[in-house]
Chain A
Amino acid sequence: MTQKNGFDGRGVPCLRSLCAVLAQLAFAGTLSAQTPADSSYPATGPVSGYMDFHFNQPSDADGSLDFHRFVLIFSHSFTPRIRFVAELEIEHAIVEGLEEKGAVELEQAYVDFLLARRVNLRAGMLLVPIGIINERHEPPVFNGVERPFVDTLIIPSTWFEAGAGVHGELGTGLRYRAYVMAPLDATKFSADQGIREGRQEGAESNVRHAAFTGRAEYVGIQGLTLGASAWSGQSSFSIRRLDVPVRLGEVDARYKRDRVELRGEFANVTIGEAGALNDALRLLTGVSPNVARELRGFYGEAAYRVWSDGPARDLVGFVRYENFDTQFRMPAGFLPVRQFDRDAWVVGATYYPDPDVAVKVDYVVQRNQSAIVKSPNSFNVGLGWWF
């Protein structure tokens, strides 16, 4: 059947669904007026946040002390069902104009419309729901002074972007979120950092194309979390005649039982038309960025809680193996730089004098496939806390 207008039979259910969502949205706004007994709204929560203070000693350079992250979290509930959350971060302690120092980042600033357990709406500055660390990055919740390499170079944590979408829980323990967000900027992709510098970060983000992202997560069994996430979006707005589709797929698992904690993650990024992108950027800048057509990384971590179920103090020892390559596959006519095919062993311990305070120490042995350039090892000490 030839569709002559946009309102055939198939459109009616969609229209009904949209009306239902809008009706619930309206209801969410008036609920507090219907329940005058709850006088605790509106309510502004106390300021929360976390801090991350590091000492890093690479094997080939001077050591550094870095107040890596100073994060404040604000929240406000307009009604029981309309809530605002913001996360404001200062990275590397100082921000100066025109200098490569720190950064002030608005990592989250969204409003949640809590409609029902299955479907809720969220809009604003959102964390991209990819991987273990991006949405769960408070210092006491992961081992190691620095975040995993895979969660930095393959999944560009902390990855945040302006957008809107839905989230909810289906049945027992099956949760999801699905957002429409601003895409990545492919002109900022690079050989060593992959897609990391392509994040627009909600700063007048170009939305000539939209990106779609989502995550499904199963948390129905005590101690076990299984997750799968994806991102897909055209990233070509800066070069108008070139389409650069970027797709990221990821799976992860965490398991904790008694004193043992295990976690693993696998992530793969594909960049379409990477060869044409390199050629176009070479014409623009004079230098080819040698962007890959595929990036890949994975890691596995085992941790053992030395002290458990006793006093509030805990000591956790851990070992993690990571393998990550920002030039896993190259477009035709481009060769990979072998130093970007890397792996790392991270061995260390986390001491919790309180569950919200983590004293961390680790040693990182990093290798790459280059016969010329060596990756430095590093000794790291960190102090992180949540309040």
Chain B
Amino acid sequence: MINNGPRIPALVFLALALATGAVSAQSRRVIRITAERFSFTPSQVVIETGEEVELRLKSDDTAHGFRIVGGGVSVTIPKRGHQELSVLFRPAMAGRYSFECTRMCGAGHNFMRGVLIVRDPRTDAAARP
């Protein structure tokens, strides 16, 4: 079974990339993801439909790409020592959204992948890991 974002039709999302300092203080959940050759930590994140989360992306070495397949998010995480990058993400539908590094970062670049699991709290019918 292939469970990537492009198979979920009519996806409604909010995605916005901006520097950390510009994010207004709200009660949204903050999820920190660290990129390092050749992994994201954590590589599996669970959120709920309609929940707006702030993904704070940080690199521990070189610049990495970060793309949520079918989620409308594709940004570059700055190199170590530079600012974190914040991405706001609000999925409307349950499902599994792969995320991956899109900037060649070395021999294991294609291993840099993860998954956002979106569950529907009303039905709890979301895909499970």
Contact = CB atoms under 8 A, between A and B. Distances in A.
Interface of A: 24, 27, 31, 35, 38, 45-46, 48, 50, 73, 75, 80, 83, 85, 87, 107-108, 112, 114-117, 127, 135-138, 140-141, 167, 169, 171-173, 175, 219-223, 225, 256, 309-314, 354-356, 386
A85 to B, nearest CB: 6
Interface residues of B, number: 34
Contact of B2 (A48, A50, A115, A314): A115
A140 B60 CA distance: 12
A219 B2 contact: no
B61 A141 contact: yes
Interface string B90-114: 0000001010000011111111010
A73 B108 CA distance: 12
A85 B38 CA distance: 15
A84 to B, nearest CB: 10
A112 B110 CA distance: 8
Contacts of B106: 50, 73, 136, 138, 141, 386
Contacts of A75: 104, 109
A355 B80 contact: yes
Interface of B: 1-3, 6, 34, 37-39, 41-44, 59-62, 69, 79-82, 96, 98, 104-111, 113, 115, 129
B97 to A, nearest CB: 11
B37 A138 contact: yes
A116 B113 CA distance: 11
Contacts, number: 104
A222 B34 contact: yes
Contacts of A310: 81
A141 B62 CA distance: 10
Given A167-B111, A175-B39, 18 more contacts: A73-B106, A75-B109, A85-B109, A85-B110, A112-B110, A117-B115, A135-B38, A136-B37, A136-B38, A140-B61, A141-B37, A141-B61, A171-B44, A219-B43, A311-B81, A313-B81, A314-B81, A386-B106
Contacts of A116: 1-3
22 contacts: A31-B2, A46-B104, A48-B104, A48-B105, A50-B106, A73-B106, A75-B104, A85-B109, A87-B107, A108-B107, A117-B113, A141-B61, A169-B43, A173-B44, A175-B39, A175-B111, A220-B41, A220-B42, A222-B34, A256-B60, A310-B81, A314-B81
